[in-house]
Structure 1
Amino acid sequence: MSVNVGGLDRILRIIVGIVLIALVFVGPQTPWGWIGIVPLATGLFKFCPFYPLLGLNTCPISKE
């Protein structure tokens, strides 16, 4: 797994993930909030499995 999620993308994924998971405990309290694990994990691991399929890379580090 190579890094393919950049700075702003990573921060937004982590925030969205935490907010969605928080909705499980406060707010509508539906199990759909657990979907927040996906953006949280991709933000923490700096890797999105769909980016290579789409040919995207938001990480500014050049490949060598």
Structure 2
Amino acid sequence: MLARNVGPIDRFLRIVAGIAILSLFFLYPQAAWRYYALIGLVPLLTGALGTCPIYSLVGISTCPAKRI
């Protein structure tokens, strides 16, 4: 299981950006570039799951520190 490394503001922005990019797929059904809009699934899923594999590789975390 991957550790959570995406904070609440970052999660919200990722979900909003993912939905906005993914909506282009449905708004322009005849466009040749339409399938590029599926890249919106990446920020949507990382925001929904609360973990980012790239953050894990680089060692970044936007989550607030856990208090004991």
Number of equivalent positions: 64
- Of 23, 47, 51, 2:55 maps to 51
Greater CA deviation, 22-31 or 48-57?
22-31
Which structure 2 residue ranges, 5 or more long, are not aligned? none
1:61 aligns with 2:65: yes
Q: How far is 1:39 from its partner?
A: 0.2
Please show how residues 7-18 of structure 1 align to structure 2 within 5 Å.
Answer: 7-18=8-19
Distance in 2 (alpha carbons) for counterparts of 1:45 and 1:33: 20
The residue identity in structure 2 corresponding to 1:12 is L
TM-score normalized with structure 1 length: 0.89
Distance in 2 (alpha carbons) for counterparts of 1:27 and 1:63: 47
Which structure 1 residue ranges, 5 or more long, are not aligned? none
Q: How far is 1:25 from its partner?
A: 0.9
Q: How far is 1:61 from its partner?
A: 3.5
TM-score normalized with structure 2 length: 0.84
